[in-house]
Amino acid sequence: MCGRIANTLPSDAMAQLFSATPANNLPSVPNFNVCPTTGIHVVMGADPNSADSTRRLVQMRWGFIPHWYKAPNDGPLLINARAETLAEKPAFRMACRERRCLIPVTGYYEWTKDDAGKRWPWYIHSDAPLALAGIWQDWSQGGENLRCCAVVTIGSNIKLSQIHHRMPVVIAQDNWDLWLGEQGHGAARLMQPADDDLLSFHAVDPKVNSNKASGPELIEPFE
């Protein structure tokens, strides 16, 4: 799964990297402890109702809200969506066909438990920013309107299975257009675990367990 992320890339650099037009209300970066239900950077394809064919870098709520929810907290918090059942689940099946997105991150956190039940955090990252596979939708009830998203996950590769049995789907740069629907059909084949050599991980300070923790020291190796 993916329950906390870090994003340290400036918004203008993200826009340039993804060839996207940035919105005016993007979240503040760097943020070394991005939590669910907060706003995150998301790359969408071009607006089909506009003559502009440029991708868009926007803010979305991290936490997918099914259309039948009466309120954002009307059911389970859906921050992740399993790739194996994405096309079948009523909450996700239309989004996986029509509303796929990319979620830029510098890295993400995962946790293990020791024999005493204490949770120990790990920071998982690469040498370059990552583009996580995502799905999104617009939710509206009683005058409240939210654009929301979830990270698509898959069973972990051999390397990451040491700390967790699931991992986000990472989309390689030469497949961004396919995942965003700019190159027709075939995005389903991208929902695979990343190669073992793409990601690295190290233990980090347990203070990241608090959603109030902040600062660059959160991603530093911890002994």
pLDDT in tens, 144-185: 999 999 999 999 999 999 999 999 999 999 999 999 999 888
Domain count, the chain: 1
2 is catalytic: yes
Structure confidence by residue, pLDDT tens digits, 94-143:
999 999 999 999 999 999 998 888 899 999 999 999 999 999 999 999 88
Query: For residue 81, is it within any domain?
Result: yes
The answer to whether residues 2 and 153 touch, using CB atoms and an 8 Å cutoff, is yes
Of the residues 2, 96, 101, 149, only one is catalytic, namely 2
CATH of the domain at 31: 3.90.1680.10
Note down the domain range covering 142. 5-108+128-195
Of the residues 96, 101, 110, 148, only one is catalytic, namely 110
- Can you tell me the distance from the alpha carbon of 165 to that of 154, in angstroms, rounded to the nearest whole number? 9
Tell me how far CA of residue 216 lies from CA of 31, 106, 205, in angstroms: 8, 12, 11
The answer to whether residues 18 and 102 touch, using CB atoms and an 8 Å cutoff, is yes
Query: For residue 65, is it within any domain?
Result: yes
Query: For residue 219, is it within any domain?
Result: no
- Can you tell me the distance from the alpha carbon of 193 to that of 166, in angstroms, rounded to the nearest whole number? 9
Query: For residue 121, is it within any domain?
Result: no
Tell me how far CA of residue 84 lies from CA of 101, 104, 152, 169, 194, in angstroms: 18, 22, 10, 11, 15
Query: pTM of the entire structure?
Result: 0.96
Residue with tokens 């002994």: 223
Query: For residue 15, is it within any domain?
Result: yes
